[in-house]
Chain A
């Protein structure tokens, strides 16, 4: 069974036709999959199937412990979205509803290579001298 229906897939495919640079999805799950691990992995598989520019690696949180550590992933389901390098974008839990759109927006941003932020915001962020870790809490919508 697929999670994304055909009309949504068509729409996303059109959107993905505009992609420029490759985007990599890195998903962490485990053998006996946790709540929403299966669905999260499946969403990523279906998205990766919609564009040649999107690749997916699925790792086992327990067996691929080194990988989890190298990405700083401490809970699952976890998904990293990155281009050539990891910029610190993480999804913990299922990105459903509104956050499904966030994934599409993140993919666009990474592929385009432009944050889309205002000049003022870019300048303030460029001035940061210390690490900033943000956690945005959401619920499925």
Chain B
């Protein structure tokens, strides 16, 4: 999921994408309610738990961030 998020960042100037190793930043894990990995947060909102294929992952994050797509 990290590489896919990085591919999105590479493709679009609007997208920035961080890998966050949660055991080193437990406060962020707590803030976003990370109980399993990979977990993706889009513009501060929980968007996807687990791994998803490219098209679904994009749909999910766009819908979560209110940037189009359907949940």
What is A's interface to B at a CB cutoff of 8 Å? 35-36, 72, 75, 77, 81, 87-95, 99, 101-102, 105-106, 109-110, 115-118, 120-122, 124-140
Contact = CB atoms under 8 A, between A and B. Distances in A.
Interface in B1-51: 1-3, 5-25, 28-29, 32, 34, 37-44, 47
B23 A117 contact: no
A135 B37 CA distance: 12
Contact of A139 (B28, B37, B54, B68): B37
Given A88-B17, A132-B61, A120 B67 contact: no
Given A132-B67, A134-B40, A99 B62 contact: no
A117 B40 contact: no
A128 B12 CA distance: 8
A84 to B, nearest CB: 12
Contacts of B39: 136-137
* Residue from A36, A87, A118 with most neighbouring chain B CB atoms (10 Å): A87
Contacts of A129: 14, 67
Dominant secondary structure of chain A at its interface with chain B: mixed
Given A95-B19, A137-B20, A137-B39, A132 B14 contact: yes
A137 B1 CA distance: 9
A141 B39 CA distance: 15
Contact of B42 (A90, A92, A122, A134): A134
B16 to A, nearest CB: 3
Given A88-B9, A93-B21, A138-B37, 8 more contacts: A75-B25, A88-B13, A95-B21, A127-B68, A132-B8, A132-B15, A132-B67, A139-B21
Given A93-B19, A130-B14, A136 B1 contact: yes
A114 B1 CA distance: 18
Contacts of B68: 124, 127
Given A106-B6, A132-B65, A137 B37 contact: yes
Nearest to B35: A137
